Each structure stands twice: as C-alpha cells, then as structure tokens.
Amino acid sequence: MSYTRLLYHIVFRPRSSRPVITIAYEEMLYRYLWGFVKNKGGVLYRIGGMPDHVHMLVQIPPTLALSDFMHDLKLSVNKFMSEHTAEFPDFEGWGKSYCALTCSESVKDSIIEYIRNQKDHHKRTSFRDEYLKLLQENGIAGVESKYLFGE
C-alpha cells in the first residue's frame, strides 16, 4: 500500500497575461475548473485569481502526472472558454508556462488564505512581481521573465 498526499499550488495564465476573466464570469470558470479537478479524481481546496491569472490549491492522485494534469486542464478549459465567447470574448488560449509548487499540510491553510485574498493582494503587487517572487521563494532560479511573459 502506498500513502500519498500530493498538494500543489498551481498558477497559470491566459496567453500574454491578457485580462480575460471578468468578475462577472469568474465563478462560472472556477466551477468548471472544480468539476475538472473532481473528474480527474482530485480535490480542489481553493481557487481564485485575477482577470489575468488563476491560482488553485489542488490534490491530485498519484496515478496522474502533474504535466498530464496541466495539459488536460488547459485543453479542457480552453474548449470551455472558446464555447462561451459571450462570457470570455478576449480569450485566445492559455500561456505555455505554469507554476506548480508542492506544499505540505502544515502550510495548506496559509495558501488557502493567500488564494482567497488575491484581489486585495493585487492592489499592492502586480502579477509579474507576484509570479517572480513565488518562483524565487521556492528555489526556482535562473528564470528569464521574457520567456514567462513574452508569449
């Protein structure tokens, strides 16, 4: 018997960080994402974000590779948003990159609060600065922002 608990703080964004997720329709998108995670056998602890990015705290099953999960998520959500052009008229696809950070149970509640407070957080900090700080704080060095934000 294997015992696992794979918690990830995932951040992803629309292509070119375009602000395509309006407050009026973010709940619709988040409910779709919750259903996607559930259908993959995962658990969504918290979702939130801004018009130009999404944060999720998820637990995924050990039989599912993170890269496969993200590939399938982006394809599925891309199809969903493309079918709802009235709600997401400026959506042109997802950016190539994403950030997925492992986390332990001991920090789960603080990450949930961090995601819950995204709108207040971004009154003081840009997405670019937030993203680069997350990468740096988690030991991801040598990041060139032109590759993260230039697509």
Over the stretch 84-110, which tens digit does the pLDDT of each residue have? 999 999 999 999 889 999 999 999 999
Edge-to-edge strand list for the sheet holding 94-103: 43-50, 53-60, 6-14, 94-103
Cβ distance 17 to 132 under 8 Å? no
Note the pLDDT of residue 83: 96
Q: Is 70 exceeded by the pLDDT of residue 81?
A: yes
Q: How confident is the model at residue 146 (pLDDT cuts 50, 70, 90)?
A: low
**Under CATH, which architecture does the 6-108+116-149 domain have?**
2-Layer Sandwich (3.30)
Query: How far, in Å, CA of 82 to CA of 92, rounded?
Result: 8
Beta carbons within 10 angstroms of residue 29's beta carbon: 22
Rounded distance between C-alpha atoms, residue 77 and residue 94, angstroms = 9
Interatomic CA distance for residues 88 and 83, integer angstroms: 9
Going from N- to C-terminal start, the domains of the chain cover 6-108+116-149
Q: Report which of 55, 58, 12 is spatially closest to residue 38, judged by C-alpha positions.
A: 58
Q: Are 77 and 94 in contact (CB under 8 A)?
A: yes
Q: Return the minimum-mean-pLDDT range out of 44-58, 73-87, 121-135.
A: 121-135
pLDDT recorded at residue 119: 86
Helix, strand, or coil here: 122? Answer: coil
- DSSP-derived pairing of the beta strands 43-50 and 6-14: unpaired
